[in-house]
A and B are shown apart, each in its own frame.
Chain A
Amino acid sequence: MSALISLENITKTYVTGESEFHALKGVDFQLQSGEMVAIMGSSGSGKSTLMNIMGFLDHCTTGRYCFSGRDVSRLKDDELAAIRNQKVGFVFQSFFLLPRLNALQNVMLPLFYRGEEESSAKLKALNILEKVGVRDFITHKPNQLSGGQQQRVAIARALVGNPEVIFADEPTGSLDSKTSHDVMQLLIDLNQQEQRTIVIITHDKEISFMCPRVVTMKDGCVA
């Protein structure tokens, strides 16, 4: 079975004036559908850069990126946006919910950008919110939710469009240990029961131990 994500010799270089900074120096990486992998590394190892490229938030400088067998290395901004909308879901350390919208509206947002009808979008959002366990809080705004609840809403938002892969950047970074454990358990359940492909970026060894596969990054290379 061909890989969902296939990265070949990916480099990412930032040019600032005269100097160059090599964030990624020739990374090879493959991800199968249904896998759950943790990408470990200290700060500056390039793990977030790798996620940004995999998640279509950024382009690689050189190298080849195939997604579901399609070469997506040099896509234009609008095409990237379309893939982000359809194939990928994000979960961030700081949750990144829109503060002026309530939980339900936040979860409906990706569907809005897909051009989906409001009533069917609402239905899908309610289902997902039920699944992650925050059905009682759908009218709450983010500032009325605890960290754990916000992250659950964020996970719901990442799931609502039925993406092929979910990228979670330090998902438990802002949570206490018990809530972290609960959120990780939710992600593990999603992977095991629904075969969701999940990539978790973390510097926390405890978190990486909970994942079936661990890839370590150091200085822009896979260690």
Chain B
Amino acid sequence: MKLTAHIKEALLNLSSSKLRSALALLGILVGTASVVAMVSGGQLATNEALKQFKTLGTDLLAVSINDVPNDDQTSHSEESLTLQQVMAVTQTEGQIRDVAPYTQLYNPIQYNGHTLNGAVLGVTENFAKIVHVNVVRGRFISSLDRYSPFCVVGHQLYEQMKAISFVDPLGKQIQVGSDFFTIVGVADAWPDNSFVYANIDSAILVPILASTALSKYAEINNFIVQLVPNANIDMITHHLQQAVQHYVPNKRLYVRSAKELITSMGKQSKILTVFLGLIGSISLIVGGIGVMNIMLVSVVERRREIGIRLAVGARRVDIRSLFLIEAVMLSLVGGISGVVVGIVIEYIIAFLWHWEFMWFFWPPVIGFSVSVAIGIFFGFYPAHQASQLDPIEALRSD
């Protein structure tokens, strides 16, 4: 009961010197807001980065076949996997649902006399499904295409081609080296991700067999594997390694799984979050020092008031409680408003960078609790000082 009376008393005192109270809690407000905003912002950034991987699904492996480095650096093995071999290797493995091998070439692309920058990707029919390529016009590559000179253009190249000729590129021809490909489809904008080693937006997609006919450098060195859920990745990697060795002895397999990428990103983001939180905490500590400063000044200015209170019967603990509660109230108000401001800043960050805004639980809770703790900690010394005053000395002050 006495506590509520003390709280009322503290509120009365704080509201009667509004400017000073506002200045004191400003430090806590800024500190809490920065903790909340930075930690939330860091989380938003991580979520955005992870989104790319998550849209692909966690059951994918990106397998690439590299040369085993030799001492003389000259041996680039001429052997590479054929499409049949890839299918054979992957079909024996029960946990593999589907596989999309692809080739990459960087031959110059010509359209209507203009040279375009882009890659030539040789793909299979299921590439679109596994890697989420949407065809907005026409059709995708089909397994029936085999060596046929058909292609699908990526979104960016499509825009460039429209700007060149003012005629709809669909159905027109595109030149790769000395070969001509007919455009049968247009792909939608594809969110760039580092899981697939190609930028589809600025590429043309041709049938994989046709690409091997284009150039001897069109080797099937990459394939995306879709697994059953909760597959044993280590075991699969081992099997793939053995199978590939069987066909092409001098090559080494390099396997990346979406799941482990997401996990490692998660770990990195935790470290980042901790760091950001620490930085924010520094500003919160500075805010706490500000509260202590203001409270100390307040104690000095109110010496006579303390003397009067002592004279009418306040005990030392009453004086200490008064100032401590005032400090805690300042921190509470500062903490709450800081959380609100922090969330607003997070919203602004999401708005400016076109990220998805999310409500987080821990940053506001931690920011708020730390601000209250700071208030108690930094308010304690001034409160203690106040309670140690001698009544007669205090009454004599002006």
B313 touching A114, Cβ below 8 Å: yes
A101 touching B318, Cβ below 8 Å: no
Report B3-18 CB contacts with A as 1/0, cut-off 8 Å. Answer: 0010001001100110
Report B307-350 CB contacts with A as 1/0, cut-off 8 Å. Answer: 11111111111100000000000000000000000000000000
Partner of A98, one of B305, B316, B317: B305
B316 touching A84, Cβ below 8 Å: no
Q: CA separation between A110 and B313, bound complex, in Å?
A: 6
A57 touching B12, Cβ below 8 Å: no
- Give the interface centre of A81, A82, A92, A117 by most chain B CB atoms within 10 Å: A81
Nearest residue, chain B, Cβ from A58: B392
B310 touching A81, Cβ below 8 Å: yes
**B contacts with A: majority SS:** helix
Count, chain B residues at interface, CB 8 A: 25
B13 touching A85, Cβ below 8 Å: no
Residues of A near B317 (CB, < 8 A) are 78
Residues of A near B12 (CB, < 8 A) are 100-101
Any chain B CB within 8 A of the CB of A62? Answer: no
- Give the interface centre of A58, A100, A157 by most chain B CB atoms within 10 Å: A100
Residues of A near B17 (CB, < 8 A) are 100
Task: Scan residues 34-87 of chain A and give those whose CB is less than 8 A from a CB of chain B.
Answer: 52, 57-58, 77-78, 81-82, 84-86
Task: Scan residues 243-290 of chain B and give those whose CB is less than 8 A from a CB of chain A.
Answer: none
Partner of A78, one of B9, B305, B309, B316: B316
Residues of B near A112 (CB, < 8 A) are 5, 9
Min distance, Cβ B8 to any Cβ of chain A, angstroms: 9
Nearest residue, chain A, Cβ from B388: A77
Q: CA separation between A107 and B100, bound complex, in Å?
A: 87
Q: CA separation between A107 and B317, bound complex, in Å?
A: 21
Residues of A near B311 (CB, < 8 A) are 57, 84, 90, 96
Min distance, Cβ A190 to any Cβ of chain B, angstroms: 18
B2 touching A115, Cβ below 8 Å: yes
Given contacts A58-B392, A81-B315, A112-B5, whether A100 and B13 have CB atoms under 8 Å apart is yes
Given contacts A96-B304, A98-B305, A113-B309, whether A78 and B315 have CB atoms under 8 Å apart is yes
Any chain B CB within 8 A of the CB of A176? Answer: no
Any chain A CB within 8 A of the CB of B395? Answer: yes
Q: CA separation between A98 and B395, bound complex, in Å?
A: 12
Any chain B CB within 8 A of the CB of A20? Answer: no
Residues of B near A100 (CB, < 8 A) are 12-13, 16-17
Any chain B CB within 8 A of the CB of A109? Answer: yes
B308 touching A57, Cβ below 8 Å: no
Residues of A near B42 (CB, < 8 A) are none
Residues of B near A84 (CB, < 8 A) are 310-313
Any chain B CB within 8 A of the CB of A118? Answer: yes
Task: Scan residues 1-57 of chain B and give those whose CB is less than 8 A from a CB of chain A.
Answer: 1-2, 5, 9, 12-13, 16-17
Min distance, Cβ A178 to any Cβ of chain B, angstroms: 27
Q: CA separation between A82 and B318, bound complex, in Å?
A: 12
Nearest residue, chain A, Cβ from B9: A112
Q: CA separation between A6 and B2, bound complex, in Å?
A: 35
- Give the interface centre of B17, B309, B316 by most chain A CB atoms within 10 Å: B309
Given contacts A98-B308, A100-B12, whether A85 and B392 have CB atoms under 8 Å apart is no
Task: Scan residues 141-177 of chain A and give those whose CB is less than 8 A from a CB of chain B.
Answer: 157, 161
Nearest residue, chain B, Cβ from A97: B308
Nearest residue, chain B, Cβ from A92: B395
Q: CA separation between A216 and B122, bound complex, in Å?
A: 116
Partner of A85, one of B307, B312, B391: B312
A109 touching B316, Cβ below 8 Å: no
Residues of A near B305 (CB, < 8 A) are 98-99
Nearest residue, chain A, Cβ from B316: A77
Min distance, Cβ A27 to any Cβ of chain B, angstroms: 18
A113 touching B392, Cβ below 8 Å: no
Q: CA separation between A77 and B313, bound complex, in Å?
A: 11
Q: CA separation between A157 and B392, bound complex, in Å?
A: 19
Residues of A near B310 (CB, < 8 A) are 57, 81, 84
Min distance, Cβ A99 to any Cβ of chain B, angstroms: 8
Given contacts A96-B304, A98-B305, whether A113 and B316 have CB atoms under 8 Å apart is no
Nearest residue, chain B, Cβ from A49: B392
Nearest residue, chain A, Cβ from B8: A118
Q: CA separation between A93 and B290, bound complex, in Å?
A: 37
Using a CB–CB cutoff of 8 Å, the interface residues on chain B facing chain A are: 1-2, 5, 9, 12-13, 16-17, 304-305, 307-318, 391-392, 395
* Besides the known contacts A78-B315, A110-B312, 4 further A-B residue pairs in the complex with CB atoms under 8 A apart: A52-B392, A58-B392, A90-B311, A110-B313
Chosen A-B contacts, 5 in total, with CB atoms closer than 8 Å, are A57-B311, A100-B16, A112-B5, A112-B9, A117-B1
